[in-house]
Structure 1
Amino acid sequence: MPQRDVLAAGAVVFRPGKRVLLVHRPKYDDWSFPKGKVDPGEHVTAAAVREVAEETGVHVRLGPPLSAQRYPNGDRMKSVAYWTGRAVGDDDVSGYLVNAEIDDVRWVDFDEAVELLTYPHDVDTLREAARRRRKTHALVVLRHGQARSRKAWRKDDRLRPLMAAGRLQAQHLVPVLAAYDVTRVVSSSSTRCVESVAPYADVTGWKLELEDALSEEAATAHEVLRVVDDLVHGDEGAVLCSHRPVLPAVFDALGLRDPDLEPGSMLVAHVRKGAVVATEIQSVR
């Protein structure tokens, strides 16, 4: 039976002036992007943010996704998921403590990066990233986690809670939303949606904004458009949590095809100047 790929994640991080963040690994004497293996049970988005922080000291938020790399790694194959990235806060790397794994970290101009990168596949990734480097913010459209059965629930459906599996999904969602620097948490007022995003709001301290207009009982196309329009034309990363029957109206407001999300899954829309420029699907278990 073929062995599974080694899974890794990283980011091509830009700063103003089309400067990109590179690292040097003395073990291989190569220049590359900050990246590393995904830990067991870790979400790939969280791994990308963690690896950048560990290898450069810079905390980033993820932007549009890039094509994955896949290449031989000893007797196995290695798959690396990449995103564009931007620093959240200080991007100074002069104080980074070099070590046996990373002995140099630099912001370099795009043309210098093309010359400095060791591997041709990294140059290809850089050129792709350069086309997607402009600043965006994420709008995460989330279908609530796995909830108690509608048929078995005898009370007001708005009070129907998550099952244990759904509560676990809500916990696993925390580092994923953090990877996109979500600072607005907007949810249907129904319990199963609130419980899906409450752990993230609790951990981060961001206000949990409840919207009856995103509930199954009160949603209208006009009100959904109002909520979506507010988030699209803002400049903050945001999550919008709603229900399967309401999500088609959300995606219609975004001008996107409905991806028919499973419970606990999300579409991440990367928005620039009020327009969606890239999307990706993520899920948590």
Structure 2
Amino acid sequence: MEPRDVRAAGAVVTRKGGEVLLVHRPKYDDWSFPKGKLDRGEHVVTAAVREVAEETGLDVRLGPALSCQRYRMSNGRWKTVDYWTARVVGSDEVSGYRPNAEIDAVEWVGWKEAGERLTYSYDRDTLVEARPLRRRTRALVVLRHAEARSRKGWKKDDRRRPLVRLGEAQSERLVPILAAFDVTVAHTSSSTRCVQTVMPYADVTGWPVKLYDELSEEDSTVEGVVDLVDDLLHGDLDTGGAVLCSHRPVLPTVLDALEVPDVFLEPGSMLVVHHRKGRVVASELIAP
């Protein structure tokens, strides 16, 4: 049996003015996008943000996902690299970057020059794919609450049904994933299992949590869901992203309001919808 693919993640980081961020690796004398291998147990989304920071010194937030790269390495093993488009948070200055043995140059270059400088054909293909998606978007993370206690085993008000230990662990693992998509506010069903799902993120970041009875199973209304989704889609790009946490019976209404296909979300999983000026640009399903 062949060994599993080596897993890695990275980003095509862009900025205003039509420039893209490239790195040079002296060991291979090649130009590529910032990327690197996943740490043990690390989520691929978290790895993409971490690797860009480690290789360039820049803090980024992710935009739409790009196609995975898969190629054979010099040692014969296969490598799979997940990529996203990305934007820098804060200063994008790299003139003060200190070269090291792994990355000895970090540069912003124009799109045409990037296509000429990139060493590998698969990176050039990724660059072509990223160009139409380079404009800034906001993320609306549609999240199903994490694993909760069994409905049959809960004899009290179902609104108060809490997460189980697995669900609590899932909610903790959501923290860096939501941060990667620049979530700055949580809109959640007022039911306990939904509130508990987003609270670890709020506790770590300090971002607000807004509770809605109309996102709960018992009190949801099509009108209430549609109005909330419309408000989120037409918000200012500078306000960051949002997470909307609800229940499986309510989620089809949310997805209908977004005009995206209905997908089944496991507990703790999410559909990240990237939008700009009220229009959905792309979406991606992310497991917990």
TM-score category of the 2 structures, normalised to the smaller one = over 0.9
- Deviations, residues 256-277 of structure 1 (Å, cap 9, x unaligned): 1110111111000000111111
- Counting aligned pairs with the same residue, the percent is 66
Aligned to 1:199: 200
Instruction: Tell me the alpha carbon deviations over residues 89-123 of structure 1, each in whole angstroms, 9 at most, x when there is no partner.
Output: 11111112211000000000111101111111111
Q: Distance in 2 between matches of 1:184 and 1:228?
A: 14
- 1:135 is aligned to 136
Aligned-partner SS, 2:99: coil
Aligned to 1:256: 260
Paired residue for 1:41? 41
| Structure 2 residue 12 is the aligned partner of structure 1 residue 19 | no
Counterpart Cα distance in 2 of 1:122 and 1:257:
30
* Structural RMSD (CA): 0.7
In structure 2, stretches of 5+ residues that fail to align are: none
Gaps in structure 1 of 5+ consecutive residues: none
Match of 1:109 in 2: 110
Partner of 2:212: 211
Distance (Å, rounded) in 1 between the aligned partners of 2:47 and 2:122: 21
Aligned to 2:100: 99
2:212, 2:57 → 1: CA distance?
38
Q: Which residue of 2 aligns with 1:61?
A: 61
SS for the counterpart of 2:224 is helix
Residue type of the alignment partner of 1:35: K
User: Could you tell me which residue of structure 2 aligns to residue 146 of structure 1?
Assistant: 147
Hey, what's the Cα distance between the residues in 2 that align with 1:123 and 1:107?
16
Displacement after TM superposition at 1:75 (Å): 2.4
> In the aligned structure 2, how far is the partner of 1:213 from the partner of 1:91?
41
Query: What is the DSSP-based 3-state SS (H/G/I as helix, E as strand, rest coil) of the residue aligned with 2:267?
Result: coil
Q: Which amino acid aligns with 2:68?
A: A
Distance in 2 separating the partners of 1:76 and 1:141: 36
- Determine helix, strand or coil for the equivalent of 2:67: coil
1:32 paired residue number: 32
Q: Is 2:270 the counterpart of 1:266?
A: yes
Aligned length: 284
Q: Paired residue for 1:159?
A: 160
1:184 is aligned to: 185
Identify the match of residue 250 of structure 2 among 246, 249, 274. 246
Q: What is the alpha-carbon distance in structure 2 between the residues aligned to residue 30 and residue 256 of structure 1?
A: 40
Counterpart of 1:23, as a letter, is: V
Using structure 1 for the length normalisation, give the TM-score. Answer: 0.99
Which runs of at least 4 in structure 1 moved beyond 2 Å after TM superposition? none
Report the residue type matching 1:125 in the other structure: T
Determine the C-alpha separation between the residues in 2 that align with 1:205 and 1:96: 30
The CA distance in 1 between the partners of 2:157 and 2:254, in whole Å, is 24
CA-to-partner distance for each residue in 1:48-107, whole Å, 9 max, x for gaps?
A: 000001111111110001010000121210000000001111111111221100000000
TM-score for both structures, normalised by structure 2: 0.97
- Please give the alpha-carbon distance, in whole angstroms, between the structure 2 residues aligned to 1:202 and 1:231: 22
Corresponding position of 2:121: 120
